[in-house]
Structure formats: structure tokens, C-alpha cells
Structure 1
Amino acid sequence: MPFSTNAQQSWISGTITDSKSHKPVSNVNILSSSGIGSISDQNGYYKFTIPSNKKFILTFSHQSYRKKISDTLFVLSEKELLLNVSLVEESKKLPEVEVHDTRKIPDNVREQAGVTKVDPKIIKTLPSVFGDFSKVITTLPGVATRDELATTYSVRGGNFDENLVYVNGIDIYRPFLTRSSQQEGLSFVNPDLVSDIEFSAGGFQAKYGDKMSSVLSIEYKKPRKFAGSVSAGLLGGTAHVEGVSKNKKNSYLIGIRQKSAEDILGTQETKGEYKPSFTDIQTFVNFNLSSDTVFTENKKTDYIRSSDLGLLGAYSRNRYHVIPTTQETSFGTLMRVFRLFVAFDGQEVDQFDTWQGGLIFTRRASRDFSYTLTASGMYSGESETYDIEGGYRLCDVSTSLGNDEFNKCVFERGIGTFFNHARNFLNAQVYSLDYKGFYSSNRNKWVYGIRSSFENINDEISEWTFVDSADYVQFHDYVNTNLTLTSKRYSGFIQDSYQFDSLKLLTIGIRSSFWDANQDITLSPRLQFSWKPLWFRKDSTQRDVVFRTAIGFYHQPPFYRELRDRNGVINNNVKSQTSVHFLLGTDSNFKMWGRPFKLFTEAYYKYMYNIIPYDVDNIRIRYFANNKAKAYAAGFDFRINGEFVKGVDSWFSLGLLRTEENLEGDYDLNATLDVNTGDTLVVTRQEKGYIPRPTDQLFTASVFFQDYFPRNRTIKMYLNFIFATGVPFGPPNSMKWRSSFTSKPYWRADIGFSKLLIFNEKRTFHSRHLESLWAGLEVLNLLQAANTGSYIWIEDIYGTQFAVPNRLTNRLVNVRVIVKF
């Protein structure tokens, strides 16, 4: 809490509540006219020091409530003034233009290293293939994706399995068997239900779990009134309803989504009959079990003692059925072009059913102490079955413009057949019990917790690939086994945030975990420090700059995927991977052109050991199932967001990254030959050393830009642009050529136009029940970028291997309508 340099000091404290519900209001900014301030905690409580014997005024502000200014106050030396405040909820109609003031982000978020606050309203307007929540995350600095169909993302050189995702404190899991983005359904997070989003790209606090790369923390709404929405488009639709009980104590959310991918998958080079169906339904219900107002001796409200029970439930039903027919792909250079023709026979049928949810009991026992008890579970039933036969022909294509054979096959380079077979079935169950406590005392905010979980996974694998090419026959990737893994995990943490004064905050914590499958114990100390210097401009106003640094150990115990090698064998000796994070960054609020802006910069270095090497094929991660690598990742992230156009928020992000790994026992054999006879004289072994990791992307950039018609602000334009340099890849099952090549850059522009009709009190558009109507037209992949999702390796008659790109989606026009009531 703030600290006064005077020998004598005083204090002011109190609880901030909602004027109607009397529930505590967190993240309220309290600012004294003397320049000292604080922010209310999750219990609505605040306390800080103030100069003694001086008059001052307090301002209470929150983005969802009306600003409140106190009367002139005065506190004697060494005394504490109790000032409880009730705030009136801001009654907001839908504005013509949504203004997102970056200065309203609570200081406790700004003080956390690597944390970015995301406005959930942006999700509904961001032009993307399915309007998926994850596409907003991929526009943030340090986050990369190379597939518009995928919900996965990598953060600062990590892979898809290194990211934590929480919804109301409950861990969220993604399917196990998906190997391509076409199979993926919707990401878990339903944008219609979201109230708060925080994302950390590294250096996160000890209260978060045991992953090495990032944390995405989502809070679902607790509605205060009845509302809902319905949206529909060519690529799917959504509906949701929310409301409260008559006594305002209980609230509910229900949302359903349907994703229709036939049209977008039909733009790919692989033609066929696509029959995907992706559906999910979610609900979050909150019950206020008790709520008692506790009074002080002078009969003023001190705090609200309450108990709440939340229920989160979700079911996703994903079906992917495709009958491929043909594929025609041209690749190569401007002067040398090759073409692959494939004729298919067979089909693929995949099914993914996932249930996730939990009960969350929250108790505020006193003004300074509260706790949550969470029981959660996940069940996933998955099957992947296919029998696909293909006959292919690879040829050289004429590039001579004046030749009659231009753009035609002139030389047949290879011909062959293949057969892919799989009968894979997986059932996974994870059940967890979690306790967290919160305690505040003067300048300290303590958080601690313990967790236990039970896991049971049954995996039946039967798959192989048959190739008849260049006069020889090969079987690849033959696996036929049944695997079962049952285990228990235990973890705990404790952390303290100590406020030296209003300018400096130190958060230090430690967490530990134990997994009985490998008897591995981890210990992860973590530290964050933030400092807001007293820098002033020429006009005597204070510069709003926060410096942040973090250092910590991040152990990631293996999950089932990391334990299973490519032959279908579980290695229980695999230990936790470890990443040591070093971060240094700034967060600055400023004005440009008289409008608010925020600048975020952060440099980072991660040293990693006991790393489990892996390769990536589309979105499938194939682990080596051993700890035989060490690695590093270093980079710099930059983001500026604000009102480039007055009244609407846009942002520009870029990231620089280099990540490499050194595998134990990874070497090349070099032979020295006799120049006369050609005989081998000596063979030497040369260690490869550090090579690029599969997620090594030197440069990434993203833009989200909004604009509107000056004379009609209800007509808007949205542009979403992503550029990322290529990633390393190599022939399958080849250690010699692993990560030897680099894919082409990924780039994509999606643009949208919308019109908003508001049904307001002026009755410009008359409706008794509707609040607004939003209609949008989107052009996806505006510039028809031919991006590559993965590669097929084909060998010609001379034994030369060719990497044939599996290209992603082409341009598509989408129409969307959103009705709110």
C-alpha cells in the first residue's frame, strides 16, 4: 500500500459496494487529490496511507459505475478514517461507437509482468473464419499461429500444450487425437458469456499452474438483468440468454454455438465431400447462498459477508466426415514448377465428445479473508477412423510462356499409390479438487492454495501407412497397441503481493507439485516487481509509466501425450520440463493527437532444460518421450493500441523470436574419402549442437484496425492482418534432416464491414424487445494468400524427395447478423 515519507502518517480504509445488490465491487480506482491512490480488492476493500493533517478529496472510478467524488476530508496524525462507499451502476445504452479507453485497465493488471487485458467486445467484430475466441489472442504480441482453421496457438517459442487456460478458475483441456485443423471444433471459450479476459505471455505468478509458456484466464459473466443475443452466418451461428432471479441473488448464462465448415473447407486444393459438424453448449449459474451486512460500532457498513455457489457446465460434440476425391497442387519456383495429381478413394470419420465443468463455492468470511473451493471434472471420448487410398502422379510443368505446352505436364517424375489406415479410440477422465484462500493485511495480499487431481486415460491405437512408390514398397508409422495410464497429481502454492507504496509492488511466491506416475517433485519460485517512477512533463503532469520485471522457474510435469513415443510405448521415466523466465518490460499510457494510447514493450529470455523434443505436423505434436534436450528462447514484444481513429480502439503488435534446442546424442557422421579410389579413409562424428525448434519464427506482426464513416458512425470497417515468417520442418522420421528447411511465410488479411441499428428510446427504429441489430459482410483471405498448413513428402524415380504443400483455405465471402435483446 502507499507509503508517506512524513514522520507522521494517517490511514484511510473502507469497503466499496454496489448500491443495489450491496455486493463488493473490486478493481475500483481510488485516487487522492494529493496524488496517492489504491485499488479495491476482490472483497471491495481498500486501505492506504495519506499525509496527516492535510485536506484532501477522494475520487472513486470504475468503468461499470458512475464516478463518485468525496467531500473534503481531514485525518489527524496516526489516525485511521473509515469511509465506506456505494457506487451506482452506470446505465449505458448501446453507443454508436464503442470507446475503449486503455487508461481504464486496473493498475493491478498493469503491475503484473506480461499481462494483457483484452476487451471481450472485440471478439464479436473481429473478422475471422469462425469468429473464434482464439483469433483475438493470436493478435497479441508473442503469440503465433499459422492456420486460420486452428484454435491452437504458440507463445514465445512454446508449443500448443504449454498454455494454461482457465474459465472461472477451472482448467480447460483440448482434445487429444486431433491431428489437423480441419478436425478441430470450436475453442472452449464462448465469447457471448465472457466478462473479463487476462492473458500472460510469460513470467506469470505462482498462483497459476504448471505450464511453461502462457496463461489465459477467463471470467464468465454474473448478469444483473435479462438479455440475450442470436447470431447467424454462412459459417455458423450462436445464441445465448442471460438473466437474474426476481430477488437478484441468482444469475444464469446459457450459450450454444454451431460451426459450419463445409464452405470454407471446400476452398482447399483437396476436393471432396466435406461433412463437418461442430456444436457446443455451455452454462454458468451462480447462486447467492447467503449475504449478511456486517456493521461497525458506529453503525456504518463495514463489509458484506457472503457465500456463493457457481456451476459451470459444457458439452462439445464434434464430428468430422470427409470423402476426398482429388487434389491438384502446383509448387516450386517461378522458373521450375512441379505439379502433384492425387485421386482418392475411401473416407475419414472422426468423433470427439467432451464434457467439462465444475462447482465453485466462494465464501467471504471477513473483511480480510475469503476462500474458494472448486470441484471440477473432464471426460473426453474420441475416435479417429479412416481408410484412404490414393494414386498420385508427380510431373514437371512447362514455364515457357511462348510454348504450346505452357502450364502443362511435360515430364513424369514419379507415380505411386498409398494407403492410410487408422482405428484409434481414446477415453480420458480428469477430476480435480482445488482450494484457494485470500487474505489481506495492511500492505500484504496473500494468496495460497492446494490441489489434487485424478487422471485415467485409455488409448487404443491401430494405424499404419502403406506406400508403393518408385519401384519399392514401404510401411510407415505402424502402431498397434492398447495403453492405460492412471495417476494422481498434487500441487500447492503460496504468494504474497507487498505494496511498498503507491509506486512499488513486489509479488513473490512459490509452488510445488508431485505426480505419482514418475515420482517427480517440482519446486518453482517466482518473483515479480513493478515500479511507477515519479516522472513529470513540462506542464507538471505526471507521466503514466510502469516498469515491470519478473524471474521464475516454470516446471511442466508431463501429461499423457508427452509420455507416449512414436511406437506407442509409454515412458514413465520422463520428468518435468523446466523453463527459467527472465522478463523486463514497460507499460505506458499517453496521449497522441489528443487521444488515449497505450504502449507495451517486453524483452524476455527463457532457458530450458529437461526438454522433451517434438515435431509438429499440422497441429499434431509428436513427442520423443525423453528429456534429452536443452533449449532457449529469446525475443522482444511490442504493442501499441489506442484511438488511431477517434472513438474506436485499434492495435499493432510485433514480435521478434529466436528459439533453438540441443539434443543429446544428435550428431552427423562425416566420411573422408580417398580421392583416387573413393574408399572411406575415416569416419568422424560431429555433434549438431543447437538447431531451430519447430516453433522458431523470427518475426510476427498483427494489426487490428477499426474505422467508420465520419457522418454515420454506425457503419464501420474492421481489418485483421497477420504476418509470420516460416517455421523449420524436415522429412518425417529423419533425424539427419530435422529442422533443415524453412516453410514459406504465413500472411493473411480478413476485412469486415458492418451496420449497427440501435433500438433506443428515441424510437428511430421501433421495437419493444430488441436492443440492437448488427449486420456484417466479411471477405476472408482478402488477398488470396496461398498459405501452407503442412507438407506431404513424395519421392520420385531418382530417389529425390519433394515437400508438397498442403495449402489452407482460399478467399471466401461471409455474411453475419447479430441481434441483441
Structure 2
Amino acid sequence: MKPIRYLFFFGFLLFANFIIAQTGTVRGIILDANNQPIDAVNIKTSVGTGTQTNKNGFFKIVVPANENVTLTMTHIAHKRIQFTVKLKNGEDYEIFPIMSTTTEQIDIVVIESGKRKAVEGIQTVSAETVRLIPGANPGVENLLMSFPGINNNNELSTQYSVRGGNYDENLVYVNEIEVYRPFLIRSGQQEGLSFVNTDLVQNVDFSAGGFQAKFGDKLSSVLDITYKRPVRFGGRVNLSLLGGSASIETSSKDSKFSTISGIRFRDNSLLVNSKQTETNFRPRFVDFQTYVTYKFSDKFHLNFLGNVAFNDYDYEPLTRQTNFGTLQDPIALLVFYEGQEEDRYRTYFGALKANYFLNDDVTLKFIASAYHTTEQEHFDIFAQYRLGEVNTNIGDQDLGNVEFSEGIGSQLNHGRNDLDALIFNVEHKGTYEIEGDDNQIDWGIKYTHEDIRDRLIEWEVIDSAGFSIRPPLPQFSNNQPYDAFEGPLEPFQSVRARNNTQIDRVSGFAQWSKQSMLGEHEIYTNIGVRAHSWTINGDGIESKTQAVVSPRAQFAIKPNWKQDMLFRLSGGFYHQPPFYRELRGFDGVVNPNVKAQQSIHVVLGNDYSFKLWDRPFKLTSEAYYKNLSDVNAYTLENVRIRYRADNVAKAYAYGFDMRLNGEFVPGTESWVSFGYLKTEENINNRGYISRPTDQRLKFAVLFQDYMRKIPNLKLYLNLTYNTGLPGGSPSYADPYLFQSKLPDYKRADVGFSYVLVDKDKQFDSGWLSAFKELNVGFEIFNVFDVQNSITNTWVRDVYTKRQFGIPNFLTGRVFNVKMGMRF
């Protein structure tokens, strides 16, 4: 009954009639003609608020967002200044007005908040672009795949790797609250929905490396999402053949509360049915989210973020035929299945965040969150296969069928995996601005308790030509199928473990930022340090405590050149203390002695802003190097990560990323990306080999356009080309003997949308007057029907005992229709 109570609770929040006013901040220093600060300048706004500059000429004033607000600055000895701003919610404008004693007023210098993110190496994407771009898994992660250095060759998954890291090395925050994902996910088609609900998103910030100490302890990246704070009642509905979503924004008249809530449903049957495996597939992915803000006073705000997700995955494979090889020597794998897989994932997440504005200079934040997941993976699948030559005689009745078998056999996979994890977090953060915004100190401390109860039972029996194949271990040495092996039946793979593990963590950070001038050049400096200590306990586990310290720094300079240039240098030590999955080895046993993986980052970046065709463009380039030690080597099977849990490897990664974005078509944002990456690891000093994420080249294009004669008809194009990933190795095999690459990944998704109603096309009467936005669309995923592969299935040839890597192909061409509306 607990899930029902949660649903009623969140349903009540959904229909609550709440509001809070959206605001932006204008701040700066008022100077005279000699660049000296002016004290006691009166600043008034057209909405009735006001303030004064202090002795340093500094002021800060909060104004309503999303509306024109006029600011008037007056001083008894200087001429009046008046100007108008229109800020987005949470936007921060810096201005440096110069007051004159003459009738001629000198221009005001305005610095946008986007510039502050640029000097920190953070890339920003508009929420509207996120909602429009087509993809098999639309949303924030889908858009990130068009960035350089970010890869995921599985359109059924929302997980991503950044600059040679794996899926577990990325931080995700929603309104400064860290969020988690399920543990047992092993296939992209099991994942369901990303935590981030696109309908609720206001801002998307992303850093691919060299990020500040205020962010957590991961090796690769930070995705920082901000959810909206509504100012009026509204709603949004999206429908497609893959599912649907609905969201509602509510407001009240007293300007004290706001809520934004959304529900989503996802069905991947359309995508999975395009694969080469014939199945009975019944996925049901549903989640509900809400974000609530209560404004007790101007000084104290309380926020609540809640999420409930139910993912059911029922899978019954029937047959599969995969053709591979060459035109001259085609080979096919034909498989007949019996059995099924039943997976259940239930996640509940709730967080409270309190903001207390002590004064104009000090902001205090308190965050408490709880994450609970119960996960079940139960499967019994029996597969009988034939591996052989394919009939290629055109006109034959058996064209395409397997004629001569090179390998026959069967395989039985059994699993009874259950996991129950509960994670609590309590955190405090603070900000102190010294002398305006020139100096800023940030600090934070966090306590985390993780309680994981895990039962892992998996085994696999392989039979070939009537012989049960033993694993290639010394105690099972044999010469099957040529010589009979007399002994009990043993599984080729068998993992049995029960773990009851508790981890207590204390982490904290402190950092100092300063913005100043070096001659005529603007400079930005950030220096910080993180510390993390953790203790592992559990049944049959000897208690172990470890600690790490991670200093980090950033430096940026904006030269006073004719060209608009910004240079950045950042880096430091980045540690990733092991999460539960990193503690669990191939045998399923928890090793409390696993150390934190360490990476030394160095990132050199440049932003060049210019105009082309009288439209704004920006070229962002970054070169990076990572030196990794105490590496916890792993294998990658689809999206399932299995760690060695021994820290016996070292690794490196280096590369170059470049992205050109701007208005290739007036009024729309598009970009072109290029990335080069090389990452290798050395396990037990045996020499360097490619890491599972070693993907050398990437090209991506995200393009938006409209027809000149039919401006309401929009085009959205998402192109990706990646060179192949390593193909992996069979179970128990030495990865040093299997260093082949998968084929290159090539994918094109295109979407067409006809706009019936938008902000520029409104109706005062008729049925269309009920909408603020209304559009209908048509999408084609994998336009060129390219057979991309994600992993290999390894099948043994009964005659030569050679193992074939059979590619597991991803989705083919899929057509989708959709409709979007906003009230």
C-alpha cells in the first residue's frame, strides 16, 4: 500500500494552488568619471522597490523576472541614469554604470550571468531546444550526445560517458540536489525514463571536466539542472507513439507558493520491435515528479523535490537471426528461445531544500534527501542456436537460411537478483560575498548514509554438440568436445552472493572566487579543495575507513582585444570514492579495501565569440589530459558495468573538443561538434590496452531550420558519427587477447513539426485560442537504417573451438508521430 499512499500524496501536491514570484538580480558598482565608487546613490525600480549604494559603490537589487523593469539611479551631484532590464528567473546581471556631472551620459556596461558560467567552463543549453530535438530517448541526455567528448552508442539508454569515463562517473543535480539511478540496470531497453523531466526544466548547465570544488566527488562531469518556479497557472501535454507526458504549473494569489508537477509514460515496444530479435515485449515505465516552493518570507524559502518511478520490464524472446561476415563468406546465427525475463524497479526520492538569506552578502542552504530503490531481475532463458553458412543463391527457396552448421548448441541463463538500497543525505552550503561580487567564498559539508541489501544469483550453462562446456579454469581443464569429460555438471559462469553493506560518508568543500582586472584585461580566479572520508561496514565485512583530499583551481582571462576572446585553464585532483557497485567484484563479493580512483585533470579552453552573416556565433575549444591512478578496471556489457574491485590498473585519457554554435538560420540555434579522444589502461603492468570507452573520433550536428515560404513548418536534424568502441571479450577471457573494435556508429534522426500556435501566432477566438502552443510532428529515427551494434555475443565453433563475436544490433529505422500543446 505504500506506493498508493505516495501517489495520493504527490497527487495532492499536483493540484495544490501554489505560487512564488520569479525573480532576477541586478548588481554592480556605480562609478564616477574618474572610475571612483559613488556612495549613497539611490536606485529605484518601476515596481516600487529600491536600495542605495554602499561606501564602495556596490548595490544589489532583486527585480521580477520575465517582465520589463525600469531602474532609475539618482545622486545629488550627478546626472540621473535610467535603463530597462528583462531578466529570466534566477538570472544575474552585473552592471557598471558611470555617472556623469555633465549632460552627456556615458554608456552602461552590462555583464550577463552567462559570461560567469563561461569563465567556469560551463556550457548552457536552453530548455526549449531540449524539448524540440528528436531522438529515440528525447530529453536532456539526448541533447548532450550532440556535444563533443560525450558518447553513448545506445539509443535505448540515457546514460553517457564523458571523455573516456564510464556511466558511473557523472554527477547529476536538480536544483542543487544530487539524484541517483537504479543499480541493476544491464540493458538500455530496461532503463525506462531518465530522472530529469524535460517538461519541468528551466536551465541546463553542463561541465565536461575541470569543474570546481563545490561539485561532488566524481571523475568525469557535472550536469546541473534547474527546475522552473511558475508564476501563473499553466499546463503542457505531449503525446507520441512512444508514450506521453503531462505537466501542470499552479499559482496562488498571495505569492507564497508555487508547484510544478509532471507525469510521464514510456513504451519502448516500437523501438525494440525494430531489432532483429522477435519478442513478446511488455514495458511499462511510469514516473511522477513535483517541485514545490514555499516562501515564508523574503529571507526564508523552502523547496521540496519528489519523484516516484515504477518500471516494469517483461521480456519473452522468441527467435533471432543475425547475419554477419562478408559478402563472399556470409555467416548467420539463428537462435530459438524459451523462457522469459521479469524485471521490476521501484524508486522513491524526496528532498527538502531551505534557503536562508541572512543578508545581502550571506546565503545559507540546507538540504536533506532520501532515495529508496527496490529492484528485481528474475530470468530463465533457454536458447538453442545454429551458427553456419547462409544460402546466397538468388532465386532459391531457402535464400537467407542457414545451410551448413559450423556450430550448434544451447545456453541456459538463470538469474534471481534482488536489491534494496536506502540512501540518506544531509547537507549544508553557504555563500559569502565580500565587497560586492569581486570576492566570493563558498563552503559546504555533507553526511551520507548508504544501506544496501543485495542478493545476487546468476549462472549460465553452455552446451555444444552434446557436451557441457566448462569454464576455462585450471580445475576444469578438458578437451571437449573431442574427449569426453567425466564429472559433475558445472555451470560455465556462476555467481552467488548475499551482501548487507552500510557506507557512511562525510564530505566537504571550501572555495574562493575573485573577479578583477589585470591592467586592461578581466581575470577570474577560483581556488578550492574537497575532502571525503568514508567507512564501510556490513555482514562479514571488516570495517574500513579511508579519506581523500582534492585541491582544484580555475583561472580565466578575457583580454581587452578587438576580438571577443576568453581563455580558461582549470584542473586539479579528482577522486571518486567507491559506490556500492564499485565495491562488488566479478564474484559478487564486496571488497571494503577498494580505494578511491584518482584522476589529475588539466583542461585548457578558449571561447571565441564573433558575428557571421550579422548573426552571433561562438566557437568553444578545449584540450584536456587526465592521468588516472588506483583505477578500478571494469567490463561493459550493454550498459551494465562489472568492476574488478581491486585498483590494480592505471590509465590516461587525452583529447580535443570543439563546438561551433550560433544562428546558422536566423532565429534558431544550431551547432557542429568535433571530438578526438584516446584513453587506455594498464592492468597489473601488462601494458596499455584500450579502455571500454575508447572512442577516437566524434562528429555531431544539431540543426534547426524552417521553410521560408512556410515558416510554421520546422525541421530538426540530429546527426552523430562515432568511431567504433572496443568489442569486449567473452566471459573468463583475457581482455588483452580481445582488442577488436565494433563498427563505426552512424545515426541520423530527423523531425518535422508544424506549428499551429506559438508565442508569435496567437488566436483571440475559436478553439485554438485555448492554447499558448500547439504543434504536430513527424519523426524518423535512424533515417538511413544503419545497423549499429553495442556489444558482441560470443558463440563457439564446435569444430575449431574458435569463438565468433556476433554483433548485437540496435534499433533500425522507426517512424513516430507526436503532438505537443501548452495551455
Q: TM-score, normalised by structure 1?
A: 0.85
Which one of 117, 123, 128 corresponds to residue 116 of structure 1?
123
| Counterpart code for 1:330 | N
Measured in 2, the distance between the counterparts of 1:636 and 1:250 equals 46
Alignment match, 2:516: 500
Q: How does 1:71-470 map to 2 (within 5 A)?
A: 73-74=99-100, 106-113=114-121, 115-291=122-298, 306-399=299-392, 407-442=400-435, 443-470=438-465
Distance 1:597 1:810 in 2: 35
Within 2, Cα distance between the matches of 1:381 and 1:552? 37
Whether 1:584 and 2:604 are equivalent positions in the alignment is: yes
Alignment correspondent of 2:615: 595
Matched residue SS, 1:712? coil
CA distances 1:723-761 after superposition (whole Å, capped 9, x unpaired) = 111111222221254551111111111111001112755
Q: For 2:131, what is the secondary structure of its paired residue?
A: helix
* Deviation, structure 1 residue 462: 1.1
1:485–1:72 distance in 2 versus 1, CA, 3 Å: closer
**Is the CA contact (8 Å cut-off) linking 1:105 and 1:117 kept in structure 2?**
no
Measured against aligned partners, the alpha-carbon deviations of 1:122-166 in whole angstroms (never above 9, x if no partner) come to 122111114233101111121001000001000000000000000
Answer whether contact 2:29 2:95 (CA < 8 A) is retained: no
Cα distance 1:753–1:39, how it changes in 2: closer, same or farther (>3 A)?
Answer: farther
Task: Name the SS of the counterpart of 2:371 in structure 1.
Answer: strand
Q: What is residue 693 of structure 1 aligned with on the other side?
A: 691
How many angstroms does 1:9 deviate by?
2.9
CA offsets, 1:398-420, max 9 Å, x none? 45669887644342101101111
How far apart are residue 568 of structure 1 and its match? 1.1
Give 2:819's aligned residue: 817
Return the offset for 1:335. 2.1
Question: Partner of 1:772 in structure 2?
Answer: 773
Task: Provide the C-alpha distance between the structure 2 equivalents of 1:481 and 1:661, rounded to a whole number of angstroms.
Answer: 29
Cα deviation code 1:586-642 (max 9, x no counterpart): 112110011111110000000010110001010001100011111100000000111
Are 1:661 and 2:681 matched, yes or no? yes
CA distance in 2, matches of 1:696, 1:730: 15
Distance in 2 of aligned mates of 1:776 and 1:191: 18
Say whether the 8 Å CA contact 2:33–2:100 is kept in structure 1.
no
- Aligned partner of 1:472 in structure 2 is 467
Q: Name the CA shift for 1:224/1:405 in 2 (closer, same or farther; >3 Å).
A: closer
Residue type at the aligned position of 1:625? A
Q: C-alpha separation between the residues in 1 aligned to 2:206 and 2:276?
A: 36
> Equivalent residue of 2:456, what SS?
strand
User: Partner letter of residue 234 of structure 2?
Assistant: A
Instruction: Report the 3-state secondary structure (helix = DSSP H, G, I; strand = E; otherwise coil) of the residue aligned with 1:232.
Output: strand
Alpha carbons of 1:653 and 1:18: their partners in 2 closer, same or farther (altered >3 Å)?
farther
| 1:10 equivalenced with 2:44 (yes/no) | no
In structure 2, what residue type is equivalent to 1:377? A
Structure 1: gaps spanning 5 or more residues? 25-29, 31-36, 45-52, 77-82, 88-102, 292-305, 537-542, 666-687
Given residue 718 of structure 2, which amino acid in structure 1 is its aligned partner? N
Query: Which position in structure 1 is the counterpart of 2:649?
Result: 629
Aligned to 1:675: none
Q: Partner residue of 1:714?
A: 712
Distance 1:156 1:251, change over 3 A: same
Contact 1:335 1:399 in 2 (8 A): no
Give how far 1:519 is off.
1.2
Q: What is the one-letter code of the residue matched to 1:529?
A: F
Measure, in 2, the Cα distance between the counterparts of 1:650 and 1:705: 5
For 1:347 and 1:319, how far apart are their aligned partners in 2?
13
Distance 1:595 1:435 in 2: 43
Structure-1 separation of matches of 2:682 and 2:44 = 55
Report the residue type matching 1:485 in the other structure.
Answer: T
1:791·1:806 contact (CA, 8 Å) conserved in 2? Answer: yes
Shift of 1:69: 10
Q: Distance in 2 between matches of 1:565 and 1:17?
A: 64
Residue pair 1:615, 1:694 contacting (<8 A) in 2 also = yes
Assess if the C-alpha contact under 8 Å between 1:326 and 1:343 holds in 2. Answer: yes
Cα 1:526–1:380 change in 2 (3 A) is same
Mapped contact 1:731–1:738 kept (Cα < 8 A):
no
2:671 is the counterpart of 1:651? yes
8 Å Cα contact 2:127/2:202 also seen in 1: yes
Cα distance 1:711–1:402, how it changes in 2: closer, same or farther (>3 A)?
closer
**Do the aligned residues in 2 keep the contact of 1:336 with 1:399 (CA within 8 Å)?**
no
**Residues 73 and 7 from structure 1, CA distance in 2 versus in 1: closer, same or farther, beyond 3 angstroms?**
closer
Aligned length: 736
Q: Do residues 792 (structure 1) and 818 (structure 2) align?
A: no
Q: Is the contact made by 2:409 and 2:463 (CA closer than 8 Å) also made in structure 1?
A: yes
Equivalent residue letter for 1:769: A
Q: Is the 8 A contact 1:60 1:68 kept in 2?
A: no
What SS class does the counterpart of residue 701 from structure 1 fall into?
strand
2:371–2:422 Cα contact (<8 Å) kept: yes
Task: Please name the residue that 2:547 is paired with.
Answer: 521
Paired letter, 1:512: A
What residue in structure 1 maps to residue 589 of structure 2?
569
Q: Secondary structure at the match of 1:161?
A: helix
Give me the whole-angstrom Cα distance separating, in 1, the residues matched to 2:226 and 2:409.
53
Partner Cα distance (2:670, 2:595) in 1: 43
Please report the RMSD computed on the Cα atoms of aligned residues, expressed in angstroms.
3.1
| AA partner of residue 528 (structure 1) | Q
Question: Cα deviation per residue 1:524-556 (whole Å; 9 max; x = unaligned)?
Answer: 0100011001111xxxxxx22111110211000
Partner of 2:15: none
Match of 2:529 among 510, 514, 517: 510
Which residue is 2:747 aligned to?
A: 748
Tell whether the 8 Å contact from 1:59 to 1:68 is kept in structure 2 after alignment: no
Distance verdict in 2 for CA 1:655–1:750, change over 3 Å:
same
Mapped partners of 1:534, 1:597: distance in 2: 19
Code of the residue aligned with 2:118 in structure 1: it is R
Structure 2 counterpart SS, 1:561: helix
Contact 1:470 1:795 in 2 (8 A): no
Kindly indicate whether the alpha-carbon contact (under 8 Å) linking 1:58 and 1:70 is maintained by their aligned counterparts in 2.
no
Secondary structure, counterpart of 1:425 in structure 2: strand
8 Å contact kept, 2:29–2:37: no
Q: 1:532 to 1:634 in 2, by over 3 A?
A: same
Partner of 2:574 in structure 1?
554
Q: Judging changes above 3 Å, is the alpha-carbon distance between structure 1 residues 404 and 192 closer, same or farther for their aligned structure 2 residues?
A: closer
Partners of 1:3 and 1:500 in 2: how far apart?
16
CA gap 1:615/1:72 in 2 versus in 1, 3 angstroms: closer
CA distance in structure 1 between the partners assigned to 2:380 and 2:40 by the alignment: 69
Distance in 2, Cα, partners of 1:130 & 1:703: 17
Alpha-carbon distance in structure 2 between the residues aligned to 1:461 and 1:802:
29
Give yes or no for contact 1:43–1:367 (8 Å, CA) kept in 2.
Answer: no
Residues of 2 paired with 1:248 and 1:655: CA distance?
47
How far 1:260 sits from its partner (Å)? 1.1
Secondary structure of the equivalent of 2:350?
strand
Check 1:195–1:367 CA distance in 2 against 1; reply closer, same or farther (3 A cut). same
